Amino acid sequence: MLLSSLLLLLLLVSASQATHFLGTMMTYYPQETFADGSVSVILRYKLNFATCSYLDTWQCSGNCGAQTQTLNLSVVEEVSGEWCQREGAITHLLHNNTGFQTVFAGGNWIDSIQNRIVSWRAVTAVEMRNRSDLGKPNTSPQTTILPALRIPSNCAKNIDLLAFDPDGDEVRCRYGNTLASECNPCTPPSVLSVSSTCSLSFSPTNSSTELPYAVQLVIEDFPKQSIILTQTNGSQEVKTTNDAISKIPLQFVLKVGPPVPSCAEGAYLPRFLPPTPENRAQLYSPAGQAVVINISAEATQSNITGLLFSGPNNAVKTSLGSGSFSLTWTPSASEDGQSHPICFVVQANYLNTLLYSDLRCVIVTAGNSPTTPTTPNVIVSNQTILQNTAFTAPTTTTTTPILTNQTTMQPSVAPTTTTPNIIVSNQTIPQSVAVTAPTTTTTTTPSPTTLASTKANVTTSAPGPQYIIALNMMISTTLSMEDNSDYILALIKTKLIEKGLPSTISLRLLSSGQVVVTTASP
C-alpha cells in the first residue's frame, strides 16, 4: 500500500515536469580577435519554461574551444502560472576561427501542442571566419520573442518578427527542417505560414478553446554580394548571395484563443498609440546612458492589464497607468556598438480572456546614431489651419494627405530608422478669425529634411459663425499607408491637437486616400 502510493507520487511529479518548454532563441556576437589567431564569441540566449525553476544547457560541438564564462540565467519576464523567460550568455574562446554548432535539446514542450511537437531541439551555427567585406567575423541576425503570443481564432493577423542584421546582411526566415535536425520534428503549425521576410501570417479557425502551437523558426543571414571567408590557416571559402552565413533558432508558442466580437485594433485588441516607437525602429543610446521607450495603447472594449516584453534582463518596466508604460535600458560599456532587440505586447482582459496587441519590436544600438540629423518619418509641410475657436457645432475638416516616398521600413538599414515624429512647418493658426474668402499660401522650402514640398491650397466655405475649412497637406513618410494607417492617423491627430484643434476630433481614412476630421458637438 505504502509502495504504490509512493510510486503514484513519483509518476505525478515526473509528468508535471515533463511538459514545460515554450521555446528558445539564440544570437551571437564575435568579441575579440587575438594576435595568435584565437577569437572569442558571446552567445546570448533566452530560455522559456512554464516556471523559472527549470534548468537545461546548450551542448557545443566542433571547434568550441574553452567555455570561459557562463553567465547565470536571469529572469527577463514572468507571467505567473504561464511562463518564465530567462536570459543567459556563454563566452567561448576558440583557438582558431573555425566555426561551430551549438544545440539545445530535451523534452518536453507544454501539453496539447496542436502540431504534435513533444521534444525540443534548437540549433545555432556560428561562423567566425574573417569576412572579406568587413575584415572581421560575422555577427548573427538579432531577434527576440515572447514565450507565447495570443491571437483570437477569428482574427486574420500578420506577426512581423524582428530580424535585424548588424552587418547589413539580408535576413531570411523559414521553418526548421527535420531532415537537417533543426528541430525534433519541425512540423509547422497548420494555421501559420512564414514569409522569408519574417512575417508570419495567421489564418483564422473556428476554434472556441485555447489551442497552443509550437512555432520553430530558423533565421539566417545572406551576404548582399559574394564574400570570401578566410580561416586562420589561410583556407578560404566563397559565400554567394544564396549561401547562408550563420543560422539561429527562434522558437515560441502561438496560443490561438476564443473568438472576439471584433478584430479591429483598439476595440477588444489593444492598439498602440504614439509615442510608441514603430515596429522595427532602430534606437541609439551610448553605453552608460539610459534609453527610455515610451509605450501607449488603448482598447475601448477591454481592460488593459499590462505590458509584456522580451529583451535584456536588466531592462526596467514601469506602468504609468491608463495604458501607458515605459521600458528603460542602459547599455553597458562591454556592449558598445552592439544592437540589442526588445519586443513587447500590451495585454488586455476581456471577460477573463487574455488578448494581446500586435507584437512590436525595436533594436537598441549601444552608441551614437551613425547619421547626421535623423530624418523624421512623417513630415507635414505647408499647411494652414484656420479655425474658429468656438467649435460649438459639429464641424468637418477634410484633408488630403499626399503620401510620397512610401516604402516599408527596412529593418536592416540603420541610418533612416528612428523614433517617428511629425514636423509641421509653415503653419499659420489664427484663432477666432472670420475668413471670408478662399486663401492661398505660398510655397517655401520648409526644412532641410523635407523630401519635397507642395503648394497648399486652403479654401473656406461660405462665411458664418462656424465653418469648415479644407486643408491640403503634404506628408512624406517611410511608413506604409497600407500597414501603418492607424499609426499615421494617430500621428496626424496628435499634431492637429497640438496645433489647436480640440482633442475631441476623430479621424477617418477614406478609400480615396482622404482623411476626414470631425469634431463631436459639445
Ligand X SMILES: *[C@@H]1O[C@H](CO)[C@@H](O)[C@H](O)[C@H]1NC(C)=O
> For ligand X, which is the closer residue by CB, 214 or 355?
355
CA–CA separation, 100 and 127 (whole Å): 7
Whether the CA torsion 393, 426, 495, 490 is positive or negative: it is positive
> For ligand X, which is the closer residue by CB, 135 or 448?
135
CA–CA separation, 305 and 298 (whole Å): 11
CA–CA separation, 88 and 413 (whole Å): 28
Interaction between residue 417 and ligand X (CB under 6 A): no
Binding residues for ligand X restricted to 336-395, rule: CB under 6 A: 349-351
CA angle 17, 20, 23 (to 5 degrees): 150
> For ligand X, which is the closer residue by CB, 130 or 140?
130
Q: Give SS3 for 37.
A: coil
Q: Are 48 and 23 in contact (CB under 8 A)?
A: yes
Q: Are 31 and 41 in contact (CB under 8 A)?
A: yes
Could you tell me the smallest distance in angstroms from the CB atom of residue 36 to ligand X? 10
The window from 69-77, 130-138, 483-491, 510-518 that contacts ligand X (CB under 6 A) reads 130-138
Q: Give SS3 for 204.
A: coil
**Could you identify the residue written with the cell 526566415?**
173
Could you tell me the smallest distance in angstroms from the CB atom of residue 302 to ligand X? 5
Q: Using the rule CB under 6 A, which residue among 181, 231, 305, 319 binds ligand X?
A: 231
Q: Using the rule CB under 6 A, which residue among 38, 114, 132, 416 binds ligand X?
A: 132
The contact pattern for ligand X, residues 138-157, with x = CB under 6 A and - = no contact, is --------------------
Q: Using the rule CB under 6 A, which residue among 59, 190, 235, 300 binds ligand X?
A: 235
> For ligand X, which is the closer residue by CB, 111 or 237?
237
Could you tell me the smallest distance in angstroms from the CB atom of residue 94 to ligand X? 11
Nearest Cα neighbor of 64 from 88, 42, 94 is 94
DSSP state of 179: G
Q: Give SS3 for 82.
A: coil
Could you tell me the smallest distance in angstroms from the CB atom of residue 98 to ligand X? 5
**Residue 67 identity:** Q
Question: CB under 8 Å to 322, separation ≥6 — which residues?
Answer: none
Q: Using the rule CB under 6 A, which residue among 130, 276, 412, 426 binds ligand X?
A: 130
> For ligand X, which is the closer residue by CB, 25 or 254?
254
Interaction between residue 205 and ligand X (CB under 6 A): yes
Binding residues for ligand X restricted to 60-99, rule: CB under 6 A: 98
CA–CA separation, 330 and 364 (whole Å): 10
CA–CA separation, 7 and 422 (whole Å): 67
Could you tell me the smallest distance in angstroms from the CB atom of residue 339 to ligand X? 18
Q: Using the rule CB under 6 A, which residue among 234, 321, 448, 465 binds ligand X?
A: 234
The window from 161-169, 182-190, 202-210, 497-505 that contacts ligand X (CB under 6 A) reads 202-210
Interaction between residue 101 and ligand X (CB under 6 A): no
Alpha helices in 423-503 (DSSP H): 481-498
Cis peptide leading into 370, omega within 30 of 0? Answer: no
CA angle 181, 183, 184 (to 5 degrees): 90
Per-residue b or e along 340-374, where b marks 16 or more CB atoms closer than 10 Å to that residue's CB: bbbbbbbbbebeebbbbbbbbbbbbbbbebeeeeb
Interaction between residue 35 and ligand X (CB under 6 A): no
The window from 106-114, 201-209, 440-448, 478-486 that contacts ligand X (CB under 6 A) reads 201-209
Q: Are 65 and 94 in contact (CB under 8 A)?
A: yes
CA–CA separation, 63 and 100 (whole Å): 5
Interaction between residue 190 and ligand X (CB under 6 A): no
> For ligand X, which is the closer residue by CB, 3 or 351?
351
C-alpha cell, 480? 506604409
> For ligand X, which is the closer residue by CB, 235 or 503?
235
> For ligand X, which is the closer residue by CB, 177 or 235?
235
The contact pattern for ligand X, residues 438-457, with x = CB under 6 A and - = no contact, is --------------------
| CB atoms near residue 66 (< 10 Å) | 12
Q: Using the rule CB under 6 A, which residue among 302, 339, 365, 388 binds ligand X?
A: 302
Could you tell me the smallest distance in angstroms from the CB atom of residue 382 to ligand X? 26
The window from 71-79, 139-147, 233-241, 498-506 that contacts ligand X (CB under 6 A) reads 233-241
| CB atoms near residue 481 (< 10 Å) | 16
The window from 231-239, 373-381, 383-391, 454-462 that contacts ligand X (CB under 6 A) reads 231-239
Interaction between residue 322 and ligand X (CB under 6 A): no
Could you tell me the smallest distance in angstroms from the CB atom of residue 148 to ligand X? 20
CA–CA separation, 183 and 176 (whole Å): 6
Q: Using the rule CB under 6 A, which residue among 57, 158, 240, 303 binds ligand X?
A: 303
Interaction between residue 19 and ligand X (CB under 6 A): no
Q: Which residues of the chain form contacts with ligand X (CB under 6 A)?
A: 33, 98, 130, 132, 135, 204-206, 231, 233-235, 275, 292, 294, 302-303, 349-351, 419
